[in-house]
């Protein structure tokens, strides 16, 4: 298993490092180069998407690509985009109807809301360059510098002067996924149920029976989902336990819409000491066009609250969280509408030091590598592409 990290972290390209005890790694030549493979899944002939002969059982033969990427979140799309820019034939399989994964938005009761990632920070020069490009084309705007916090004892505390700028997308955070997916072949509503290695190819099967094969596969889903996909001995036991050690915090996210109220003066507020409510965003402050008197709040419960009340009804969650928020916003208890989303894997509770891991044509990436946020997912996607390009 290659841990693609040290030199990569400094932006100086990949150094191959043997991942001791987890299996050996072989440098096989850049994927754009390219080596010949013997067959598709189950020894069947490999086909390009535009020519799909039937196998002996009447089933379409698997579609074959140089690389398939599972997951059209920030990590998967970044990897696919980087590989495509190098001339690689890459296809992305995404289970949902949208792009961007947990950098998610939707329109509810006429309001655009961000129910996943709330904002983006950028520290690494490679992600800074991407954010600058998004600022230039209007995909992103600078939302705020730092954020105030609130505690029951001390009340409001203003943001620190040294805080990093926070960037958002006025059309919703899923715009980042949409931008990354441009000109990339993404098949949506393709829920992969199994990924395995077979006769020199990697094979992915979707819930509706479609089969795909590739020389390399990048899996960018949250790690518990990655481990479930890679059953049947696709991972050496030591690597499986390395990845299984990462837990994710769940999150109840609640949007609440109001009319006839005064817009809060703050963009968002952290509640660092509250046991149940972690964050309240003035979601309206992220949008370009807003109607007078209309405000949408986005509330995030703490991981402890979410775990304790994981199966509560959306109404029960709304009433509990809005009651806490009413200490900050007096009208919070009287919304015109609410929308609830429960995230099982919101953010990794700790992360792995490597930006991605690769072995025998399988690359695992995502926000669990690096920093557990959008920036980390982006950098992990770049590292995954680099692993593939270097033949890991
Ligand atoms: C409530 C919340 C608040 C957050 N706030 C912030 C924040 O303010 N700032 C920040 O930087 N980050 C924040 N994050 C974290 C950030 O959203 C993630 O770190 C980042 O989006 C992860 O990207 P990813 O590509 O690694 O994974 P994901 O976004 O999870 O992408 C994985 C993709 O794989 C797809 N998938 C899963 N299983 C399958 C399958 N079997 N077959 C096919 N496709 C599959 C999923 O649908 C998804 O699109 C927040 C997250 C949440 C949930």
Cβ-based neighbours of 67, under 8 Å, separated by 6 or more: 31, 80, 83, 88, 89, 90, 91, 214, 215, 216, 217, 218, 388
- Distance of alpha carbon 213 from alpha carbon 274, whole angstroms: 48
Q: Decide the pairing of beta strands 211-219 and 201-206.
A: antiparallel
Distance 366 CA to ligand 1 centre (A): 8
Domains annotated on the chain, with CATH: 2-100+179-246+352-389 (3.50.50.60), 119-171+247-348 (3.90.660.10)
CA of 346 to the centre of ligand 1 (A): 7
Residue with tokens 């693609």: 4
- For residue 93, which atom of ligand 1 is closest to its CA? 43
Cα 101 to ligand 1 centroid, rounded to whole Å: 4
Mutate which of 81, 106, 116, 303 for ligand 1? The one with the most ligand atoms within 8 Å of its CB, which is 116
Please tell me the predicted confidence (pLDDT) of residue 137.
98
Pocket test for ligand 1, best of 102, 219, 252 (most atoms within 8 A of CB): 102
Give me the pLDDT at residue 14, please: 40
Its pTM stands at 0.90
Taking CB atoms within 8 Å and a gap of at least 24, the contacts of 162-165 are 164/121, 164/122, 164/123, 165/121
Q: Which protein residue's CA is at the shortest distance from atom 36 of ligand 1?
A: 71
Q: Atom 10 of ligand 1 has which residue's CA nearest to it?
A: 373
Tell me the CA–centroid distance for residue 373 and ligand 1, in Å: 8
Give the DSSP letter of residue 283.
G
Query: Which residue's alpha carbon is at the smallest distance from atom 3 of ligand 1?
Result: 117
Please state, in angstroms and rounded to a whole number, the distance separating the CA atoms of residues 218 and 386.
Answer: 11
Residue 36 contacts residue 29 (beta carbons within 8 Å): no
The interaxial angle of helices 174-181 and 74-85, nearest 10 deg, is: 20
CB-CB contact of 228 with 196 (8 Å): no
Residue 321 token pair: 């969280």
CA-76 nearest atom, ligand 1 = 25
The residue nearest atom 20 of ligand 1, judged by CA position, is 374
Q: What pLDDT is stored for residue 8 in this prediction?
A: 35
Name the helix (H) or strand (E) containing 147: none
Q: What is the per-residue pLDDT for 94?
A: 98
Question: What does DSSP say about strands 149-151 and 111-114: parallel, antiparallel, or unpaired?
Answer: unpaired
From the DSSP assignment, how many helices (H) and strands (E) are in the chain? 9, 20
The answer to whether the CB of 267 falls within 8 A of the CB of 144 is yes
75 Cα: distance to centroid of ligand 1 (angstroms): 9
The answer to whether the beta carbons of residues 216 and 359 sit under 8 Å apart is no
Q: Please give the distance, rounded to the nearest whole angstrom, from the Cα atom of residue 186 to the centre of ligand 1.
A: 16
pLDDT at site 200: 83
d(CA 228, CA 168): 33
Q: What pLDDT was estimated at residue 10?
A: 35
- In this structure, what DSSP letter does residue 336 have? S
**Chain Cα centroid distance, residue 70:** 11
Could you tell me whether strands 2-3 and 357-359 are parallel, antiparallel, or unpaired per DSSP bridges?
antiparallel
Spell out the per-residue pLDDT of the chain, length 392, in tens. Answer: 444 333 333 333 343 343 333 332 322 223 333 333 334 565 565 555 555 555 544 566 788 999 999 999 999 999 999 999 999 999 999 999 999 999 999 999 999 999 999 999 999 999 999 999 999 999 999 999 889 999 988 889 988 877 789 999 999 999 999 999 999 999 999 999 999 998 889 999 999 999 999 999 999 999 999 999 997 778 889 889 999 999 999 999 999 999 999 999 999 999 999 999 999 999 999 999 888 889 999 999 999 999 999 999 999 999 999 999 999 999 999 999 999 999 999 999 999 999 999 998 999 999 999 889 999 999 999 999 999 998 87
Grouping H, G, I as helix, E, B as strand and the rest as coil, residue 343 is strand
Task: Quote the DSSP letter at residue 302.
Answer: -
Return the pLDDT at 46.
59
Measure 293 CA to ligand 1 centroid, in angstroms.
32
Q: Are 299 and 321 in contact (CB under 8 A)?
A: yes
Distance CA 249, CA 58 (A): 44
Contact by Cβ (8 Å): 5, 390 = no
Residues enclosing ligand 1, CB less than 6 A? 70-76, 93-96, 101-103, 116-120, 191-192, 220-222, 225, 229, 251, 253, 300, 343, 346-347, 366-367, 372-374, 377
- Angle between helix 74-85 and 374-389 (nearest 10): 40
């Amino acid at each position: 298993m290659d841990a693609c990290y040290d030199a990569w972290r400094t932006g100086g390209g990949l150094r191959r490092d043997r991942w001791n005890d987890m299996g050996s790694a072989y440098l096989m030549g850049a994927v754009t180069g390219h080596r010949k493979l013997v067959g598709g899944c189950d020894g069947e002939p490999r086909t390009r998407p535009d020519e799909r002969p039937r196998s002996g059982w009447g089933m379409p033969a698997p579609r074959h690509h140089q690389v398939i990427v599972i997951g059209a979140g920030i990590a998967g799309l970044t990897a696919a985009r980087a590989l495509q820019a190098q001339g690689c034939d890459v296809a992305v399989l995404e289970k949902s109807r949208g792009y961007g994964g947990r950098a998610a938005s939707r329109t509810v009761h006429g309001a655009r809301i961000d129910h996943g990632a709330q904002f983006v920070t950028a520290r690494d020069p490679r992600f800074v360059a991407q954010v600058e490009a998004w600022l230039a084309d209007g995909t992103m705007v600078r939302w705020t510098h730092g954020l105030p916090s609130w505690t029951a004892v001390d009340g409001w505390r203003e943001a620190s002067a040294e805080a990093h700028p926070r960037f958002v997308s006025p059309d919703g955070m899923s715009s980042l996924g949409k931008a990354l997916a441009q000109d990339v072949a993404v098949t949506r509503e393709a829920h992969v149920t199994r990924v395995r290695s077979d006769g020199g190819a990697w094979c992915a099967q979707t819930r509706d029976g479609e089969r795909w094969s590739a020389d390399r596969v990048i899996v960018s889903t949250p790690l518990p989902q990655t481990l479930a996909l890679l059953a049947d001995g696709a991972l050496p036991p030591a690597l499986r336990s390395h990845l299984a050690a990462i837990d994710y915090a769940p999150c109840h996210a609640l949007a609440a819409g109001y009319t006839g109220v005064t817009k809060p003066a703050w963009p968002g507020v952290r509640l660092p000491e509250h046991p149940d409510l972690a964050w309240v965003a003035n979601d309206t402050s992220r949008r370009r066009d807003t109607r007078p008197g209309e405000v949408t709040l986005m509330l995030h419960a703490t991981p402890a609250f979410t775990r304790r009340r994981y199966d509560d009804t959306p109404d029960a969650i709304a009433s509990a969280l809005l009651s806490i928020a009413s200490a900050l916003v007096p009208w919070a208890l009287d919304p015109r509408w609410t929308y609830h989303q429960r995230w099982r894997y919101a953010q990794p509770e700790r992360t792995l030091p490597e930006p991605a891991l690769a072995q025998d044509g399988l690359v695992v990436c995502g926000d669990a590598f690096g920093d557990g946020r959008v920036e980390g997912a982006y950098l992990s996607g770049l590292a995954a592409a680099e692993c593939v390009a270097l033949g890991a």
